Structure 1
Amino acid sequence: MPISYETNIKIAALLKPCGNHKWHDDAVARAIEEIAEIEKPVILDAGCGAVSWILHRIREKRPDIHVLGFDVDEQCLQNKDIDEVKVASIYDIPFESESIDLAMSGYVLEHLDDPDAALQEIWRVLKPGAAFIAWAPNKLNPAMVVSSMTSHKFHVFVRRLVAGDENADNAPTYYKLSTVAAIKAAAKRHGFKLEYIDTYSSAYEYFRMTKITYFLACLANKIMPLWPFRHFRLTILFVLRKPEAE
């Protein structure tokens, strides 16, 4: 049985600073800053899933936002944080060109076999001058190295073990846009301006199988901020901007 959420919090608190939430806070802060001067901004959650907790936090600060979302999984239709949600692929975003003030995507890019096609669609729907804020796992992180070397069946097994749900599933992972170098190269290819990129320590939720595995994961988080290890931290947060129209 996986450890409880309450035990999860206690272990993480014991090893503070664990860095579990700093990237959450930075993503929210950058989004709020991005839409600060826009009245009733339209935000896109690309691959929104059943819950959009980052968008929920943004709405607490800006209740006037209008959130569009989509996902290939029909569970997205249950997402209460989205004002208009559709079942669709990131390769064919079901919204008008140049209609989005801010696009966001969390832990989606690693599941894309063709991230270039996805970035082309993000570019299409963004208004000139608008930004795309995204976060993805860092392929250089030791846990992700193991993930990239193991099968999809193994990933599903671990997901079900941690979730305590024999029906839980896990989308295939490709990690084609999951390093700082790959993100920088993709931004250049597609004409985006890379305004920000950094790595962050983050919670290793797949290590919640036992107290000891989660304790060791949090211990790793504690040392990851140190200089020799910063390039191996688990989460990459970045901001791409579509240039203003000339």
Structure 2
Amino acid sequence: MTTETIPTKPELLRLQKVVDKLLTNSRKLRVLEAGCGSATEIHLPQDAFFVGMDISAKQLERNAVAQEKILGDIQTYPLPGGEFDVILCFYLLEHLPQPELAMKNFLQAVKEEGIIILALPNVLSIWGLITKFTPHWFHVWVYRYIFGEKRAGTDDFGPFQTFSRLSTSPKQLEQFALNHNLSIEYLDLYENFRQTDMKAKYGLWWQLFAGTVKVLSFGQVATDNTDYILVLKKQKN
């Protein structure tokens, strides 16, 4: 890798410990980051060969880590079989109309005993469902005027169009793993910092809203766990 990344968010620090334990062999790693954008979230060995893939040429240009860059759609791009020791996919699946195609592509592209690391919103949460059922222009407005990100929605910066298919829920992706010879090495559900800030700001109003949602959904919609990280390992045939 050309640039070292030091995780600072609590969920990434927890993930880093898991990844360090799983990647104990001495071979040089070949790593794919799908939807690589312009940043890499975790630290991998300095001698790893890093392949970045994104549908945005501008985002690829901004990436200072990838030694090889692929401009393409992970749902349809023919990745080579059994090529990668590690596949990273951070906050991409929710933006795909057919995320199951991406998962199948990862499945055939990862080596036996290789790992797939996924990070994405929990669609079955208050945050996830609001995102799913509100239009893209509203997301851009929120990022610009609520979160203060003035370049949001311009020059290939997010937020991007979101589909958040139900097939990306934690239970559905766990079931995909069980059906396709992937072991579940790690699952971490957590609350993103934006919702944490909103809870602190709105206090009692948020508690009333979240409590109402919990009752009406019979506990099926998460009020706290907005996001999750899932680590899968491909088993030997």
SS of the residue corresponding to residue 143 of structure 2 reads helix
Question: Does the aligned pair in 1 maintain the 2:126–2:222 contact within 8 Å?
Answer: no
Of residues 170, 184, 195, the one that matches 2:159 is 170
SS of the residue corresponding to residue 163 of structure 1 reads coil
CA distance in 2, matches of 1:232, 1:215: 13
Q: CA, structure 1 residues 127+217, in 2 after alignment: closer, same or farther (shift >3 Å)?
A: farther
Which has the larger helix fraction?
1
Post-superposition Cα deviations, 1:33-92, rounded to whole Å, max 9, x if no partner, equal: 2222132111111110012232xxx14xx2111111101011122201212112111123
Unpaired stretches in structure 2, ≥5 consecutive residues? 1-7, 211-218
Post-superposition Cα deviations, 1:130-151, rounded to whole Å, max 9, x if no partner, equal: 1101111112332222212211
Q: CA deviation at 1:116?
A: 1.3
Indicate whether 1:49 and 2:33 are aligned: no
- How many residue pairs get aligned? The number is 210
Indicate whether 1:199 and 2:183 are aligned: no
Unpaired stretches in structure 1, ≥5 consecutive residues? 1-19
Q: CA, structure 1 residues 165+68, in 2 after alignment: closer, same or farther (shift >3 Å)?
A: same
Q: CA deviation at 1:240?
A: 1.4
Indicate whether 1:65 and 2:48 are aligned: yes
Higher relative contact order (CA 8 A, sep 6+): 1
Moved over 4 A (4+): 212-215, 217-220, 228-231
Question: Does the aligned pair in 2 maintain the 1:66–1:83 contact within 8 Å?
Answer: yes
CA distance in 1, matches of 2:60, 2:110: 21
Post-superposition Cα deviations, 1:139-172, rounded to whole Å, max 9, x if no partner, equal: 2332222212211221122233331126254322
SS of the residue corresponding to residue 120 of structure 1 reads helix
Question: Does the aligned pair in 2 maintain the 1:191–1:242 contact within 8 Å?
Answer: yes
Q: CA deviation at 1:98?
A: 0.6
Of residues 3, 14, 39, the one that matches 1:26 is 14
Of residues 116, 137, 155, the one that matches 2:121 is 137
RMSD after superposition: 2.9
- Alignment-mate amino acid for residue 98 of structure 1: G
Q: CA deviation at 1:93?
A: 4.0
Indicate whether 1:39 and 2:31 are aligned: no
Match of 1:216 in 2: 201
Question: Does the aligned pair in 1 maintain the 2:34–2:89 contact within 8 Å?
Answer: yes
**Percent of pairs identical after alignment?**
22
SS of the residue corresponding to residue 51 of structure 1 reads coil
